[in-house]
Chains A and B, each alone.
Chain A
Amino acid sequence: DIQMTQSPSSVSASVGDRVTITCRASQGISSWLAWYQQKPGKAPKLLIFTASSLQSGVPSRFSGSGSGTDFTLTISSLQPEDFATYYCQQANSFLALTFGGGTKVEIK
């Protein structure tokens, strides 16, 4: 199975900071990657699909990049509503749809 490893597991940042989260696949997955945001007690929300496509309605401060094994989610200027946990997911249904372990973005 493909393993998805996120780093860091948590990050402390201030409003206005640029935040970058990394997701690494144990084998190449082309651009088959999605990113989700989850707030406490809520269902995940889709942010990015096919590694870099922004889901409708998601602010443009969110961006995704990468292909193969290494991917990044960047928040260009952190806003108060962005404090949450972020998950990457391998999205090719011919393989197990594995999620990463999550990255918690906390207030500094």
Chain B
Amino acid sequence: QITLKESGPTLVKPTQTLTLTCTFSGFSLSTSGVGVGWIRQPPGKALEWLALIYWDDDKRYSPSLKSRLTITKDTSKNQVVLTMTNMDPVDTATYYCAHRPNFGVVSPFDYWGQGTLVTVSS
């Protein structure tokens, strides 16, 4: 079955760079059409999509955060890494990674990791 798990620091200081790793199993990111995305959720607030990477290394970013985000994949390790620069307290959130199946251009996120809470504070 498909599983995903996020890992990374729980606390970062303002202006630092956050690096999160999504380690997954049950699918291959070399399979045509498949993708992995990152979504975050500040405490008590709504979900916000951040980035998406496809099997062919095509990458998509949230327009409002694009300048701060980088998403990469390591197919051999079954991992996707998200970096976010210049962290601010408003970036405090639970960060999720999720699997995007090959339904074509229009696909939902059908499997999600458990999420990891990242707090930004000095």
Contact = CB atoms under 8 A, between A and B. Distances in A.
A45 B62 CA distance: 21
Interface in B7-59: 35, 37, 39, 46-49, 52
Nearest to B109: A46
A44 B63 contact: no
Interface majority SS on A: helix, strand, loop or mixed?
loop
What band does the interface of chain B fall in when counting residues whose beta carbon is under 8 Å from A? 20 to 34
A100 B45 CA distance: 11
Interface string A85-105: 001010111101111111000
Contact of B46 (A55, A91, A97, A101): A101
B102 to A, nearest CB: 12
Interface in A27-50: 31-32, 34, 36, 38, 43-46, 49-50
Nearest to B97: A43
Interface string A61-103: 0000000000000000000000000010101111011111110
B37 A92 contact: no
A32 B112 CA distance: 20
B96 A87 contact: no
A97 B63 contact: no
B47 A99 contact: yes
B49 A98 contact: yes
A92 B96 contact: no
A96 B82 CA distance: 17
A87 B47 contact: yes
A1 B62 CA distance: 10
B108 A93 contact: no
Nearest to A95: B60
Contacts of A91: 106-108
B48 to A, nearest CB: 7
Contacts of A50: 103, 106
Interface of B: 35, 37, 39, 46-49, 52, 60, 62-64, 96, 98, 100, 103, 105-110, 112-115
Which 3 pairs from chain A and chain B are nearest by CB? A34-B108, A43-B112, A97-B49
7 contacts: A43-B96, A44-B109, A46-B109, A49-B103, A87-B46, A92-B105, A94-B105
